[in-house]
Amino acid sequence: MALVSQRVTPLPLESRTLARAVLEDRDFVVLGRQCAGIVGLLDSDEIMRRITRLLTDEYGFHMSWIAESSADGAVIRYASGNRTDRFHGILLRGGLGLGGKVFASGRLQWVDDYLTSPEITHDYDKPVAAEQVQRMVAAPLIGDDRSFGVLLGGHRDPGTCGDRAAAILEAVAERCARALSIAERARAAAAAAVYEDRQRTAIILHDTVGAMLFAISSSARAIGENVDVDEEVARPLQALDRLADEAANTLRDSLRALLGSNDPLASGGVASHLPRPDPGHPVQDRRRGSQPSPIARREYDVLRRVATGETNSEIAHAMSLSCNTVKTYLRNVMSKLGARNRVEAIARAREFGFL
């Protein structure tokens, strides 16, 4: 088959200019109808699979494929109409071949004879020849100022791509990018909602179970350090202290698994606020230091209930207060004790002998 010299034809104007100039209104109506279900999928993999099939099933392209953005370029992961697997997993590096050139420039381009074109590199001639593709057009997938990759369409017969084929591929690429943007925003929103729910759960565990474990451990140590306690009582108290410590470690690990080790609540919050009293700084010595500001009776009542593991809602109900008032009392206590959270407040209150 005789081959003729072809060229890459970059569009001089912004994306979608050719599509608007070439396609008629009814074309956009049909495109809109065919892509409506794709835009609503919210599944990136399914979006790209359906887009490639749309080009081969409805618009006469012999083959279509999508190269998805990666750290080093764009990787071909989706194809329709292919006869081999030669393209699957190929990395299109920026500027190489037609796809790499479109990926780097962000502009629609096409060739009418891929294998002889002097305007592109020929790094990917072998898979192109294996698929017997001669004409090829490529458009960037750009949405929300982000590149999702490149959409390519090819024909196995000789001729020219023509403005209409290029315009159709460009219009489909624009709708594909829009669908991918929507899917990405939906995924981000869903992930944020899941994370917020996990964080609320972690805070509840932190404020209840964590506080109770610390209260148990501190009480056991305080009793055990009493010189009047005999050995038979001291041994179970020490065992209770160890069990509370093990439970605190389990809680810490669970929160890290729930939130991820980089979350401040998991890595710094609970992990550092389920402490053991420092044996190098006994309670008695620390009490001789600077005393906190006086704690009001209602503030003390709130702190005492927090130390037993009650939630803000439970405290508010028991004391006939609003939750906001309970939070205010607790903030006052933490400020007076120099604590960052309720668990630290309990620890400092015990050190000063308030609990």
The CATH number of whichever domain residue 293 belongs to comes to 1.10.10.10
CATH number of the domain residue 130 falls in: 3.30.450.40
Express each pLDDT in 251-262 by its tens digit: 777 777 776 655
Say whether both 175 and 304 belong to one domain: no
Q: Is the pTM of this model over 0.85?
A: no
Greater confidence, 24 or 199? 199
In a domain, 153, yes or no: yes
**Tokens at residue 16, please?**
């979608």
Whether 160 and 302 map to the same domain: the answer is no
Q: Are residues 181 and 298 in the same domain?
A: no
Answer yes or no: do 40 and 156 share one domain. Answer: yes
Q: Are 35 and 147 contained in the same domain?
A: yes
Residues 6+ apart with CB under 8 A from 21: 163, 167
Closest to 282 (Cα-Cα) out of 225, 346, 223: 225
The 10 Å Cβ neighbour count of residue 108 is 26
Domain C-terminal end among 189, 215, 236: 189
Domain assignment present for residue 330? The answer is yes
Write out pLDDT tens, residues 231-270. 777 777 777 777 777 777 777 777 777 766 555 444 444 4
- Specify if 37 maps to a domain: yes
CA distance 94 to 89: 16
Q: Among 133, 165, 189, which residue terminates a domain?
A: 189
Residue 65 lies in a domain: yes
Q: Are 195 and 144 in contact (CB under 8 A)?
A: no
Residue 277 DSSP symbol = P
Note whether 58 and 171 are same-domain residues: yes
Please report whether residue 185 resides in a domain.
yes
Residues 303 and 177 in one domain: no
Average pLDDT over residues 127-155: 94
Q: Are residues 39 and 183 in the same domain?
A: yes
For residue 282, is pLDDT > 60? no
Q: Do 43 and 161 sit in the same domain of this protein?
A: yes
Mean pLDDT, the chain, whole residue set: 77
Specify the pLDDT at position 275: 39
> Are 177 and 316 within one domain?
no
Residue 320 lies in a domain: yes
Domain boundary among 161, 189, 217: 189
pLDDT at 260: 65
Look-up of token digits 């607790």? 330
Residue-wise pLDDT for 289-348, tens only, equals 455 666 777 888 888 888 877 888 888 888 888 888 888 888 888 888 888 887 788 877
Task: Classify residue 84: in a domain, yes or no.
Answer: yes
The share of the chain scoring above pLDDT 90, in percent, equals: 31
Q: How many domains does the chain have?
A: 2
Q: Are residues 80 and 185 in the same domain?
A: yes
Residue 63 and residue 180 in one domain: yes
Question: Residue 157: is its pLDDT beyond 90?
Answer: yes
Range of the domain at 321: 279-355
Q: Which of 1-5, 100-104, 248-252, 260-264 has the least mean pLDDT?
A: 1-5
Identify the pLDDT of residue 18.
56
**Which has more pLDDT, 312 or 205?**
312
- Amino acid identity, position 29: V
DSSP state, residue 15: T
Contact between 254 and 264 (Cβ < 8 Å): no
Tell me, yes or no, whether 142 lies in a domain: yes
DSSP letter at 75? E
